[in-house]
Amino acid sequence: MIKLKKNISLKPYNTFGIEVFTDFFIQLDKAEDISTFIKNYDDIPKPIYFIGLGANTLFTKDFSGTVVHINTKGIQKYKETTDSIYLRVQAGEIWDDFIDFCITNNFSGIENLAAIPSTIGAAPIQNIGAYGVEVKDSIEYVKYIDLNNFNTITLNNKECQFSYRNSLFKTPIKNQFLVTEVGFKLSKTLQPILEYGSIKKRLNSLGITNPDIKQIADTIRQIRADKLPDYKILGNAGSFFKNPIIPIDNFNKLKDQFPNIIAYPQNNNTIKIAAAWLIDKAGLASYQIGGAAIHENQALVIINKNQAQAKDIINLCSHIQIKIKLLFNIELLPEVIFV
């Protein structure tokens, strides 16, 4: 049975810890709940917003509709070959619990994505990524319900149109679908990716030259903990902005002016700029508006420092965007979804 609750605080359902209310709230705990939800869909007050961990959502005001919390659990093997294991995972599983499951079973491919706050269902939507790995590299399929006709659709990896922090689910079919399950293909032997950032350095400092999957995940967790605040203590949504991708010609002009600028070459004569560096260079580290502030250890993260209201975060976001535009002529776009 699913219950339509009224006037519920969304504070526990967004990692910014913003206190806003939704008119209606439903939690889906198992497959039957999803069926019941779909059967009654026409009667459920609209608009509807689906939420997993709420780690990439900024509720800008009270929500006059229904927030639906996806809490379905389950990890099952559906295929195995000599080298690979194929797992179907329900949308409400917590991403980091799935990482632990993979560590315990020695399934490799996503260990560099340890400690990312997300649910399984949310992970493909913005193609979560960190430390040289993106979730798209391990996804076989994404299963969702099309809310226009209630058909269940399974898209293979290519059909999901993944790119940097983006997928089909963020563009044309936005808000008209409910992701129910994701299929993963993982390797039964460790395929370490240690080149990115300080992973190798930290492992070396611990005297580890041949790390196992747990040692890699633990190292990533430590690196993240050093610079990314724990949302349970200081509300935040990870990187607030995407790293902007600009034409290489524009970059070369910037480089003359700012020789230390940090950037990573992409395909098609473009280059990805470290937005954290831009914000830092603009002198905005620790900058605060109301209760919202730029995190001192990672300039790409906006924190709820002191009972921030959504408007503080929105104002801080605009302030950063304007400064970066004026100084570097670059548009910073939020990674976080404004609701």
Interface residue with ligand EPU among 243, 305, 320, 328 (CB under 6 A) is 243
Closer residue to ligand EPU, CB minimum distance, 262 or 330: 262
C-beta of 69 vs 242, nearer to ligand EPU? 242
Of 93, 140, 165, 181, the active-site residue reads 165
Contact with ligand EPU (CB under 6 A) among 186, 276, 284, 324 = 276
Tell whether residue 130 is a contact of ligand EPU (CB under 6 A). yes
- Kindly state whether residue 197 participates in binding ligand EPU, applying the rule CB under 6 A: yes
Q: Are 27 and 71 within 8 A, CB to CB? A: yes
Query: Is there a catalytic annotation at residue 35?
Result: no
Give 77-86 contacts, CB < 8 A, sequence gap 24+.
78/183, 82/188, 83/187, 83/188, 83/189, 84/185, 84/186, 84/187, 84/188, 85/185, 85/186, 85/187, 85/188, 86/140, 86/183, 86/184, 86/185, 86/186
* Contact pick of 145, 242, 289, 303 for ligand EPU (by CB under 6 A): 242
| Minimum CB–partner distance for residue 242 and ligand EPU (Å) | 5
Q: Which is nearer to ligand EPU, 242 or 305 (CB)?
A: 242
Q: Of 150-158, 171-179, 272-280, 312-320, which part binds ligand EPU (CB under 6 A)?
A: 272-280
Q: Is residue 136 involved in binding ligand EPU (CB under 6 A)?
A: no
Of the residues 93, 111, 134, 335, which is catalytic? 335
The residue within the footprint of ligand EPU, chosen from 153, 262, 314, 337 (CB under 6 A), is: 262
- Catalytic residue at 134? no
| Binding span for ligand EPU by CB under 6 A among 19-27, 61-69, 168-176, 270-278 | 270-278
User: CA 311, 224, 192, 195: dihedral to nearest 10 degrees?
Assistant: 90
Told to check if 131 binds ligand EPU by CB under 6 A, we report yes
Chain contacts with ligand EPU (rule: CB under 6 A):
130-131, 197, 238-239, 242-243, 262, 274, 276-277, 280, 285, 298-300, 335
Active site residues: 165, 239, 335
